[in-house]
Amino acid sequence: MRFLAGCILHGNSNMAIHCSRTCLQYLIHLAHDNVDFRLPEIRSLLSLRGKSFDPCENFKEKSPFWRLNGLSEEDVNSIMARTVCAKSAFELWGHGRTHSELRTSLLKYPTENMSPFLQKDSTYKINVYTFNKTLEFEDRIKKIDAMEYLSFEGRVNLKNPKHIFCLLEDYGTDPNNIPDEPLYIYFGRWIADGQRELIRSHSVKNRHFIGNTSMDAGLSFIMANHARVKAHDLVYDPFVGTGSLLVACSHFGAYVCGTDIDYNTIHGIGKASRKNQKWRGPDENIRANLRQYGSEKLYVDVLVSDASKPIWRDGMLFDAIITDPPYGIRESTRRTGSQKDSVKPPEDYVGDSHVPVSMAYHLSDIFTDLLNFSAHHLVIGGRLVYWLPIYRPEYCEEMVPLNACLRLVSNCEQTLSSHTSRRLITMEKIKEPEETDALAHLSDPHFSPYQGHNAFREKYFSGISKRTLTGKEETNKMAANGGE
């Protein structure tokens, strides 16, 4: 490695050893799902450590392997203790396009970096991992035996080794065009695994309280990581639903609270969403979900409230606001109010308080209110993370709602169908609101609300109707041709 060689040549031996340990490269092996969310998650987790994302040359975002510079082992362990997008991390000892190049690279790796892990009194094992290709057991053994040029002096222990090493081969990302030989090969010392197990352990299938739109566990943890949620933060979800996002944030030690306009959901009453269950049980609520995962002590409260109406005092500040607003597909978009002219009651009226009826809450208004609320109620540096539904044929980046107090951090797409998707938007508060901010959109078109959202529901069902009609046309055509 040239950068290590440079460190050794320009100083005494002590400086060389210190520099070689601080100039290490680390290899991150990423899961090949939610690909668009991986880079923002790793960047966000690095920023919690005050570190920047510094990839090696020829970095490819879609690759399942990333080589990173400028990190310590503590930094890597910190990332892996939270990420659900990465599988494992390694101290990279060598790499190359062929096994010959790998050998050359490994033999150039500083001995002082290897020797602490190759001692006679240590135990080890070597794993072989291949991406996009399955190898027979005998082929794996041959690849391990071919690495006899490395001076391992310890004993092999397959069950409980002190050190684990891994040979990783990348066969590309096209399952229909798998090469005979790997495109790239890596070898390194295993450091830590990511938190992919959280996706299974927190699956909504096994959760005590769920609804029709409960957020997937993996995406919930990704949102919490994009928001940089940490211990003792106060996190708020203005469209809390069944509290899936609160569950993820409380896992990282944050205090959580939320509001929702749906009385039945907040109180856990009414019809159940589970198959073969008609009504919700007596203890199906958000608090019970946090109790299920051992984080009930971090539950602040949830309220029945209209997100379009101010209920918080001016000094109330949150460290993060994370939410999945309703799109009008499976959950309606409503707010309190009436289209009719309001009638003021007599001054001497002493009857019961009126419970207002609900009216349509346009998506463009939802996002304008959400950004304005975040601008006023986030701490400086706090983050807003939310889902934005879009109609793909008409989408462009200028459609993302903006606010003068919020900086756009990332914009990731999750495809829902051929014509619709939703984008995970992450924004960070950079300044306090000023009176002139409310008029900013008049002079800058970038601040105009995304009015196209108001037709999202119609376009969504229009696309479904088109697909249904196309399917019927194909069926009729096949029938006319004798089913060929």
Domain assignment present for 46: yes
Query: CA quadruple 398, 401, 404, 410: dihedral positive or negative?
Result: negative
Summarised one tens digit per residue, pLDDT across range 89-120 is 999 999 999 999 999 999 999 999 999 999 99
Whether the CB-CB separation of 401 and 338 falls below 8 Å is answered with no
Q: How far, rounded to the nearest angstrom, does the alpha carbon of residue 256 sit from its chain's CA centroid? A: 18
How far is it, in rounded angstroms, from Cα 255 to Cα 296?
Answer: 10
Summarised one tens digit per residue, pLDDT across range 318-340 is 999 999 998 755 555 555 555 55
User: What pLDDT is stored for residue 7 in this prediction?
Assistant: 38
Q: Say whether both 124 and 83 belong to one domain.
A: yes
Domain assignment present for 347: no
User: What pLDDT is stored for residue 197 in this prediction?
Assistant: 97
Domain range for residue 65?
A: 25-194
Domain assignment present for 472: no
How far is it, in rounded angstroms, from Cα 99 to Cα 2?
Answer: 19
Domain assignment present for 41: yes
Q: Say whether both 181 and 310 belong to one domain.
A: no
Whether the CB-CB separation of 400 and 366 falls below 8 Å is answered with no
User: What pLDDT is stored for residue 9 in this prediction?
Assistant: 34
Summarised one tens digit per residue, pLDDT across range 451-478 is 555 555 566 656 555 554 455 455 454 4
Count of domains observed in the chain:
2
Q: Say whether both 303 and 402 belong to one domain.
A: yes
Whether the CB-CB separation of 235 and 321 falls below 8 Å is answered with yes
Query: Residue 104, CB half-sphere, CA atoms under 13 Å: how many?
Result: 8
Q: Which of 141, 170, 194 is the last residue of a domain?
A: 194
Q: Say whether both 329 and 393 belong to one domain.
A: yes
Q: Say whether both 369 and 391 belong to one domain.
A: yes
Q: Which of 159, 194, 229 is the last residue of a domain?
A: 194
9-11-15 Cα angle (round to 5): 115
- What SS3 class is residue 302? strand
For β-strands 234-237 and 255-260, DSSP reports them as parallel
Q: Say whether both 97 and 229 belong to one domain.
A: no
Q: Which helix (H) or strand (E) holds 318?
A: strand 318-323
Q: What is the DSSP letter of 340?
A: S
User: What pLDDT is stored for residue 358 in this prediction?
Assistant: 60
Residue 324, domain CATH: 3.40.50.150
Whether the CB-CB separation of 427 and 375 falls below 8 Å is answered with no
User: What pLDDT is stored for residue 3 in this prediction?
Assistant: 33
Q: Say whether both 312 and 290 belong to one domain.
A: yes
Q: Say whether both 231 and 317 belong to one domain.
A: yes
Which residue numbers in the chain have pLDDT < 50?
1-19, 341-343, 348-350, 352, 354, 449, 468-469, 472, 475, 477-480, 482-484
Residues 6+ apart with CB under 8 A from 372: 403
Q: Say whether both 296 and 377 belong to one domain.
A: yes
